Amino acid sequence: MLRAAAIGLMTLLTASACLTDEFRDYPEFRYMSGLPGGGFGVTPDHAVGFDGALQLNIPVGYTPGAGSYLLGGYSSAVDGGFPTDYDGADVNGMAVFGLGGTWRGHGLWLADMETGEELESAYNLQVELVPARPGRPGVSIGVVDLFGRRTSDLEHPEYTDSRSFFVAATWAAGDERHPLWVTMGAGNGRFNDRLFGGISYQATDRLKLMAEYDGWNVNAGAAYDISGGWGDGEWHTVAVGGLTDLDRITIGLTVTRTSPDDWPW
């Protein structure tokens, strides 16, 4: 199953590398996701931080649980160059506040994704369907912009119908020192009614490399665990850098906390 998923993902990445888009559709959701794995890692046992599956703009199949918290900030260059601001015509900036929970023993994630100078909110939700087990993927479903508050068309900003649904599955591979995480999924709306997928590889104890296809573009990037885990390993500060559509520079910083004392399992 894992080999088939990896082959399918590489086919997606290769076939879509030449696709272009002017980023008119779902403009606020095309750089970083505010979903599990979007700039921070999520492990099969529901912890956030640096370990586990980590991507740029696609959700992973692992869902954080109770005791997981996130604060993140991201900025992306819209017209090339390096992003130096949070708001404006030439950047796409956002802040994310995330909180994990547990529902009938399954992970539950709610994130407030705030965009623009006035911090307009979009709420993203993910629910774990199938917990990950050795040799079996973790599977989750979710929704982007739960209440349909943000625009789906840059040329018609009054259209606030960007609510999008998805399903994602993530497998673990590689060895203990250099794990590999493979994610496959599908979604409508913001995911362009297509399959999406990604790979993240832990090159060192503090460095991860990732590539993905988000339904529109091929993206690639790297993440570095600045703090290396502090406060008994509960806290992580992760710096992320990437290229959306292999062209637009995206940078971000996340601070996460997972407290095992809050876990119900």
Q: What is the pLDDT of residue 93?
A: 82
What's the start-to-end Cα distance of the chain, in Å? 28
What does the pLDDT read at residue 86? 59
Give the per-residue pLDDT at 52. 95
pLDDT digits (tens, 9 = 90+) for 108-163: 999 999 876 666 788 999 999 999 998 899 999 999 999 988 878 777 766 668 89
Residues of the chain with pLDDT under 70: 1-22, 84-89, 116-119, 157-160, 231-233, 260-265
pLDDT of residue 104: 84
pLDDT at 12: 55
The model carries a pTM of: 0.87
Rounded alpha-carbon distances, angstroms, from residue 200 to 34, 131, 203, 258: 17, 20, 9, 21
Strands (E), 18-115: 41-42, 48-49, 68-77, 91-103, 106-115
The pLDDT of residue 98: 96
Domain 2-262 CATH assignment equals 2.40.160.40:
yes
Residues in Cβ contact with 261 at an 8 Å cutoff, skipping those fewer than 6 apart = 67
CA-CA distance, 88 to 122, in Å (whole number)?
A: 18
- Rounded to whole angstroms, the Cα distance separating 161 from 191 reads 14
- pLDDT for the residue 20: 47
